[in-house]
Amino acid sequence: MEHISISTEYITLGQLLKEVGAIDTGGMAKWYLAEYEVLVNGELESRRGKKLVNGDRIQLADGAEYEITAN
């Protein structure tokens, strides 16, 4: 599991997908979430604007797992 460190209150799911390289541009987030299953804290999530906060766990369709940590 990889830790994603944030210095703000939250990061959106679309921003996270771009940060980890799952998508190239923010505009691809809606398409990615429609095509692939993404789990946030074990539940299927399809909203690119979903706010991710400290402690949230994200699992992508390729098996990659991330945890949000606050600075």
pLDDT in tens, 4-14: 999 999 999 99
Is the pTM of the predicted complex or chain greater than 0.75? yes
Per-residue pLDDT at 20: 96
If one counts the domains in the chain, the total is: 1
Per-residue pLDDT at 53: 98
Task: Give the residue numbers spanning the domain of 19.
Answer: 2-70
- Measured CA to CA in angstroms, residue 65 lies from 4, 22, 27, 39, 41 at distances of 10, 12, 22, 9, 11
Sign of CA dihedral 43, 48, 59, 61: positive
Identify the CATH number of the domain in which residue 18 sits.
3.10.290.10
Contact in structure between 2 and 16 (CB atoms under 8 Å): no
Per-residue pLDDT at 71: 85
Residues in the chain with pLDDT values less than 50: none
Tokens representing 58 are 């994200």
